[in-house]
Structure 1
Amino acid sequence: MNADTTYRHTQYAWLCWLIAAISIPAFVTAAMLWQKPGGAILIAVSGLMLLYLAGSFGQLSVADDDDALLIAFGPLPLFWRRISYAKMRAANVERTTFLEGWGIHWSLRGGWVWNLWGYDCVEIQLDQGKIFVGTDQPQILAEFLQARIAKTPAT
């Protein structure tokens, strides 16, 4: 892969469809309990929270964004991060551990984890800290980032 190539990949978490499907019985139950507003509202809000969760973490997109790497959960674009290539020092294929799990959180090894599904990731060393980006294409992403890091002057 040469440094002029762009990168864009989206990984999907099919488990989120199950989470979204669980919200349907919550809405049906809320409708049946409509005469008891407290219970109906609580169950309906629970269903909405499940839909929100499924919509926020149903996919993880990693893309070249001119002078930075864009990492975004979706399809609801609520959680995203943009990392300048000039702040990157290295990119290597790694694996997260079971304890590091999925989602967005601080790693036990230091640095942030942005992972949707599985244990394959790319560890990106930054000027200050590091980030683990989960992907089902770790080698391709690492090669792309290594080429961009080599091409981009440090700040």
Structure 2
Amino acid sequence: MPTYHHTQRAPLCLLLYGLAITFLVLTCVLRQEPVLAWVFPVTGLIVLVLAAAFHHLTVVDGGDHLSISFGPLPLFHRTVRYDDVEQVEVGKTTLLDGWGIHMSIRDGWVWNLWGCDCVVLRLRNGTLRVGTDDAENLRSFIVERKSEEQR
């Protein structure tokens, strides 16, 4: 039985890390300003947590389901059972679909880290677009897994 494991990394998190460090440095520089003394460290820590949460996107075969998670800070995770997948195809996200986790303006959910390539999963209860730089291999794997399930 084949398995799948792929991690996509993105440079966007480097910008977030830089922004977080900037906020934390500004905390030291502007510590005499009463409002800024607490706004900058709180903002810096929030941005730092987001950078760590969206550093990479990993898609893993979990036996009877596909596991999709951002990391390395494991705040956002989703599983999709293979028997819930009705159709799978390679697609593209638009600039308006953007990055992160959110509802698409077209339909369904988007889980995207970087780039426009994705795998569109038509599920029993909606649509999920999973951004990946390995779209064709992921699509092929899911199609193969679905055909094994039906035997």
TM-score (norm 2): 0.93
The reply to whether residue 5 of structure 1 matches residue 8 of structure 2 is no
Q: Distance in 2 between matches of 1:25 and 1:128?
A: 42
The reply to whether residue 39 of structure 1 matches residue 36 of structure 2 is yes
**How far is 1:25 from its partner?**
2.3
Structure 1, 127-136 or 137-146: larger mean CA deviation: 127-136
Which position in structure 2 is the counterpart of 1:142? Answer: 139
Q: Distance in 2 between matches of 1:37 and 1:28?
A: 16
The reply to whether residue 57 of structure 1 matches residue 51 of structure 2 is no
Map 1:4-153 onto structure 2 (within 5 A). 4-153=1-150
The number of aligned residues is 150
Q: Distance in 1 between matches of 2:24 and 2:105?
A: 38
**Structure 1 contact 103–114 (Cα < 8 Å) conserved:** yes
Letter in 2 for 1:19: L
Q: Distance in 1 between matches of 2:110 and 2:28?
A: 39
Give me the identity figure in percent.
45
Q: Distance in 1 between matches of 2:59 and 2:5?
A: 6
SS in 1 for 2:35: helix
Unaligned runs of 5+ in 2: none
SS in 2 for 1:151: helix
Runs of 4+ in 1 over 6 A off after TM superposition: none
Unaligned runs of 5+ in 1: none
Letter in 2 for 1:123: V
Letter in 1 for 2:75: L
TM-score (norm 1): 0.91
**How far is 1:51 from its partner?**
0.5
Q: Distance in 1 between matches of 2:29 and 2:99?
A: 35
SS in 2 for 1:82: strand
**Structure 1 contact 89–149 (Cα < 8 Å) conserved:** no
Q: RMSD between aligned alpha carbons? A: 1.3
- Cα displacement string for residues 69-100 of structure 1 (whole angstroms, at most 9, x for unaligned residues): 00001111101100111111121111111111
